[in-house]
Amino acid sequence: MENNNRSGAATIIIISCATVLALAAAYLVYYKKTSDGKKAPGGQQSAVTVRSMTAEVQTLHDYVNTNGEIKTQSSIEVFPDNKGKIVETYVSLGTAVKRGSVIAEIDPSEPGMQFAHSRVYSPISGTVTAAPLKPGTKVTTSTAITVIGDVANLQVNANIPERFVAALKIGLKANIILEAYPNEIFTATVSRISPVVDSTSRTKEIILTFDQNDPRINAGMFAKVTLYTLDYEGFPVIPSNCIVTKGGKEFVYSVNADGETVSRKEIQTGETVDNMTQVKSGISAGEKIVIEGQRVLSDGSKINDITDGIKKPQAAEQAKQEEKDGKK
């Protein structure tokens, strides 16, 4: 008797589990049909909620990001004519000087020998950009006492990786961002390009000139450089993630004139910059393309486009459909 009770309980458990599994399978089949835009039970098609955008002809600006350093366009180290000991300096860091101004005096005297002091002159007009050596320092004719630079005209020195050198040319535009002013964009233009690639870093140096002088820019500052290299134009542009790939082909879903259904269109893509892709064929400028929800669509699927933030009254549509079914 006890064995019969156990057998009956086991049978009930098995039947219950089978019922649950059957219900779960039925739900999955129903969900699959409705999410794919197919007809749900009762003959009504379930609309897929999507967002769309209008494909427009735009120019994509390709670019290279690199780092650079702000330097003076003309800068020169100042050397003495004689070796000896510095007895006096007449400038300090930031002093403005003219060509021929006295920078320092050197005493070339040696033990047992006295000589007149030798003056050191500025070879150019500009500003002292390096702190001069202090009095008492011994120097030779190869010792730089200071550096004079033209701080009114600054440039950016930057290095471009070898793989991008084919796109380099004089006149390319760039945006410069400085650490001191992270929310400001300064514009510059490529004025010089090195004729060689550095064999160690595999980069080519370029020099950019600021389009406008700005007193906030100082020599020695670190610069983030965005160099615009190529322009891709003449075709509609859409977000890259709205493109669906199947069987090695690329498709998008275009919203039909009724605004409630879509057509799947095969496309040929062009260049991509910052997740925006050119479409060379398959769609035309002005078409509305699905950019969200396209993964569950199929050709002819019914949609509910909420791009403008307003959902269509689904309940009203269902009521109308039920009324039609009742009259039949």
Give the CATH number of the domain where residue 259 resides. 2.40.420.20
* Residue 36 falls inside a structural domain: no
3-state secondary structure of 258: coil
State how many domains the chain has.
3
The type of residue at 67 is N
Residues 196 and 213 reside in one and the same domain: yes
Residues 67 and 171 reside in one and the same domain: yes
271, 278 in Cβ contact below 8 A?
yes
Model-wide pTM > 0.85? no
Which of 169, 198, 232 is the last residue before a domain boundary?
232
Q: Residue 192 carries which DSSP code?
A: E
Return the closest-CA partner of residue 149 out of 206, 215, 74, 205. 74
What whole-number distance in Å separates Cα of residue 220 and Cα of residue 68? Answer: 10
Range of the domain at 254: 47-59+235-314
Residues 138 and 87 reside in one and the same domain: yes
Residues 110 and 174 reside in one and the same domain: no
Cα R_g (the chain), whole angstroms: 37
* Residue 16 falls inside a structural domain: no
Query: What's the chain's length in residues?
Result: 328
3-state secondary structure of 245: strand
**pLDDT (tens place) for every residue of the chain, 328 residues total:** 444 455 555 566 666 666 766 666 665 555 555 444 445 455 556 899 999 999 999 999 999 999 999 998 888 999 999 999 999 999 999 899 999 999 999 999 988 889 999 999 999 999 998 899 999 999 999 999 999 988 888 999 999 999 999 999 999 999 999 999 999 999 999 999 999 999 999 999 999 999 998 999 998 899 999 999 999 999 999 999 999 999 999 999 999 999 999 999 999 999 999 999 999 999 999 999 999 999 999 999 999 999 875 444 444 444 445 455 554 4
The predicted pLDDT at position 248 comes to 92
> In Å, how far from its chain's centre is CA 215?
28
* Residue 184 falls inside a structural domain: yes
Matching residue, tokens 């010089």: 192
The predicted pLDDT at position 24 comes to 62
Largest separation between any pair of C-alpha atoms in the chain: 131
The predicted pLDDT at position 45 comes to 63
3-state secondary structure of 256: coil
The predicted pLDDT at position 319 comes to 45
Residues 254 and 309 reside in one and the same domain: yes
The predicted pLDDT at position 315 comes to 40
Which of 213, 232, 251 is the last residue before a domain boundary?
232
Residues paired with residue 18 on neighbouring β-strands, in sequence order = none
Q: Residue 230: which H helix or E strand, with range?
A: strand 222-239
Residues paired with residue 292 on neighbouring β-strands, in sequence order = 51
Q: Which two three-digit tokens encode residue 267?
A: 């496309």
Residues 67 and 195 reside in one and the same domain: yes
* Residue 132 falls inside a structural domain: yes
The predicted pLDDT at position 313 comes to 44
Outline where the chain has alpha helix (H): 2-35, 314-327
* Residue 207 falls inside a structural domain: yes
- What is the number of other CB atoms lying within 10 angstroms of the CB of residue 95? 17
The predicted pLDDT at position 73 comes to 85
Residues 256 and 128 reside in one and the same domain: no
Residues 201 and 243 reside in one and the same domain: no
Expressed in angstroms, the distance from the first to the final Cα of the chain is 58
Which of 203, 232, 261 is the last residue before a domain boundary?
232
- Going from the C-alpha of 55 to that of each of 24, 76, 237, 282, 320, the distances in angstroms are 41, 55, 6, 12, 34
* Residue 25 falls inside a structural domain: no
165, 204 in Cβ contact below 8 A?
yes
